Chains A and B, each alone.
Chain A
Amino acid sequence: MLRSLVISKSINIVNSLLEDFIHCVYYFVEVFGGGTGYKFRWGVRGPYSDVLHRDLVRGILRKVKTDVWVRVERLMKRLGCDNSSPQTCLYLLSIAARLHMIASTVYPPVDDPVEYIVARFPGIKREDVERVWRVLVEEELV
């Protein structure tokens, strides 16, 4: 389902929530060695790739290996996407992507990614950040 959604040529960029979702998905695609070459910057709404946006606009997305999709889907399942609304799934996935990027890429390093997110993004609940962090630790992603 995830693959068909992301690969679909019918993606409408006007839907910014959907675009946020795709940036988060592709962020983890790269984390899992997807080899797309997309580089992400630390955006206001989470990891953001200018080239991915450009490719979405053109309707051409770079190929991803099947086993990488499986790993992204597994992570989403662990986050609770299977039993939640699309909005909640995006919310959880965006927390995961932000936490991972803070723990791995942003500079200077952040001592406590959970506290960092909670302090800077008032709309995000502490218990959700802590739960997502535990998932990332258990999955050995941070």
Chain B
Amino acid sequence: MAVTGRFRVYDVLYGFIELSKDEARLIDTSVFQRLRRIKQLSLANLVYPGAEHTRFAHSLGVYWLASKVVSRLVESGFVNEDEAALFRIAALLHDIGHLPYSHAIEFYYHSKFREQINDGFKLHEKLGHAMILLCDELREVIVSLGYDPKEVVALLTGTHRDIKLTSLISSDLDVDRLDYLPRDAHHTGVAYGLIDRERILDTLTILDDGRVAVDEKGVQAVESFYVARLHMYQAVYYHKTISGYELYLAKIYEELAEYDPEISFLASPQGLEKAIKDSTISLIDDYWLYSKMLQVLRDANAPNRVKKRIQNFLSRRGPKAIYNVSLFTHNPRRTEDVKQVVDMLIDCNVDADSILVLETTIKFLGTEDEIVYVRTRTGDIVPITEASQLISSLPRYYHVERVYVEREYADKALKCIKKSNA
């Protein structure tokens, strides 16, 4: 909806989000429109039926928050109008590289191409950077707005020379998290991700050396933000059933790559890069992968194994977690437990191909670079861990170690574990 040189879109959390007509041209690109067809929470709708919101809505939300933050920083002279516009563009495009079903398909690429994707960026981040630099349609709009695509990427990769803007992207309290926590809570219906956004926005500032800080009166709001993160990771992002289906979909994708020539081509970083260059990536979305699965079901010559998995997936008969450790800890944790469980299952003749593993550690409190600082009433600057007793006592890490097996092997696997524990 255009209103005298502005473009307005109604958001479920913020009401009207306004963009300039120029900025709206970014949204009109086919690669950005693709985000309308990628669910924000991948397969969370299998547990929370309301979780149907998209990366498109989230990206607009992050843009809105970025606009709020930088307009305050412009008023206080920390950044100029050009820097503010650059920050807004980076915020709008930060998720442009997501693949179908968001993080689910990334499991496949990260396990298959570990050597090529091992520098700390997630695949969707790397693809997003490539899209901004290589996708003609998007690059041309950025250039026509008077900005350098390389500068947008530098902001997203944390290599922009202006450390103030880089900090706003990479600190614990970034605009991405400020949007997705309440948005995902809203759509799933869980009562955990709520944060005092207005208070955080009102007290957020940047220190002279680039660190992100809040005024003392914002400490409680930051506490609620950290607590919301803990709860959302446990209840939604690493929900046992949802993670199982994500791993299952990645497994199906791997098998489709052996069977379907188009997926086979896209199932490597090089194939994805080519699809970005020729803009065919704009058609690679949730519906694309869904239709591929339906095609397989209709194909009399398709391998039975993949057909069965797709039927299980579509009928919500996904894998069962037979080993599950989800722990909040203050210290890092390293165990060989998952490997031992997998070895045990194989010894018990559970088909190795039916075993799926999830092992991850999420860091909740950043290092001194990333952590939020507090400007006290007396003007002192202290880390939030000193200003807040609550945050100092929160766990630093969330560990998830899980072994899933396909349902047909679940009883056998559980008996096997029970026997070994006896």
- Chain A bound to chain B: yes
User: What residue of chain A has the Cβ atom nearest to residue B167's Cβ?
Assistant: A44
8 Å CB contacts to A: which residues of B152-180?
153-154, 157-161, 163, 166-167, 170
Q: Report the bound CA distance from A54 to B362 in whole Å.
A: 9
Q: Nearest-CB distance from B280 to chain A (Å)?
A: 28
The answer for the CA separation of A43 and B367 in the assembled complex, in Å, is 11
User: How distant is A17 from chain B, measured CB to nearest CB, in Å?
Assistant: 10
Of B55-63, B116-124, B290-298, which stretch is located at the interface?
B116-124
A121 touching B367, Cβ below 8 Å: no
Are A57 and B119 in contact, with the CB atoms below 8 A? no
Q: Classify chain B's interface size.
A: 20 to 34
Instruction: Check B170–A41 contact: CB distance below 8 A.
Output: yes
Please tell me if B23 contacts chain A, counting CB pairs below 8 Å. Answer: no
Main secondary structure of the interface of B (DSSP, over half): loop
Is there a chain A Cβ closer than 8 Å to B223's Cβ?
no
Give the chain A neighbours of B397 by CB distance below 8 A: 57
Mark contacts of A103-142 with chain B using CB atoms, 8 A cut-off: 1 yes-contact digit, 0 otherwise.
0011111100000100011100000000000000000000
- Size category, A interface: 20 to 34
B299, CB-defined interface residue at 8 Å: no
- Kindly identify which residue among B158, B334, B367 contacts A19, using a CB–CB cutoff of 8 Å: B367
Chain B residues, Cβ within 8 Å of A16: 367-368
> Are B159 and A106 in contact, CB atoms less than 8 angstroms apart?
yes
Question: A110 to B120, alpha carbons, bound, how many Å?
Answer: 25
Are A38 and B166 interface neighbours, CB within 8 A?
A: no
B210 at the interface (CB under 8 A from A): yes
CA distance A19 to B118 in the complex (A): 20
**8 Å CB contacts to A: which residues of B274-316?**
none
| B residues 195-232 in Cβ contact with A at 8 Å | 208-211
**B363 with A57: CB separation less than 8 A:** yes
- Check B158–A42 contact: CB distance below 8 A: yes
Mark contacts of A43-81 with chain B using CB atoms, 8 A cut-off: 1 yes-contact digit, 0 otherwise: 111001111011001110000000000000000000000
- The reply to whether the CB of B361 lies closer than 8 angstroms to some CB of chain A is yes
Pairwise interchain contact A106-B154, C-beta atoms closer than 8 A:
yes
8 A Cβ contacts from B317-371 to A: 332, 334, 361, 363, 367-369
**Would you call B151 and A45 a contact (CB within 8 A)?**
no
Which chain A residues lie closer than 8 Å to B153 at the CB level? 107
B148 at the interface (CB under 8 A from A): yes
Point out which of A43, A54, A121 has the most chain B C-beta atoms below 10 A from its C-beta: A43
B112 located at the interface, meaning its Cβ lies under 8 Å from any Cβ of chain A in the complex? no
A107 close to B159 (CB less than 8 A) = yes
- Tell me whether A37 and B361 are in contact (CB under 8 A): no
Q: Chain A residues with Cβ under 8 A from B157's Cβ?
A: 39, 41
A42 partner, pick from B148, B161, B209, beta carbons under 8 A: B161
Interface centre among B157, B367, B397 (most CB of A within 10 A): B367
Q: Is A102 an interface residue (CB 8 A)?
A: yes
Complex Cα distance, B161 from A105, in Å, reads 9
Nearest Cβ on chain A to B208's Cβ, whole angstroms: 8
Chain B residues closer than 8 Å to A122, beta-carbon distance: 208-209
Q: 9 A-B contacts, Cβ less than 8 Å apart?
A: A42-B159, A42-B161, A43-B163, A44-B167, A49-B120, A50-B120, A54-B120, A57-B363, A106-B154
Shortest beta-carbon contacts, A-B, top 8? A41-B158, A51-B120, A107-B154, A39-B119, A43-B369, A57-B332, A106-B161, A50-B120
Interface residues of B (CB under 8 A from A): 118-121, 148, 150-151, 153-154, 157-161, 163, 166-167, 170, 208-211, 332, 334, 361, 363, 367-369, 397
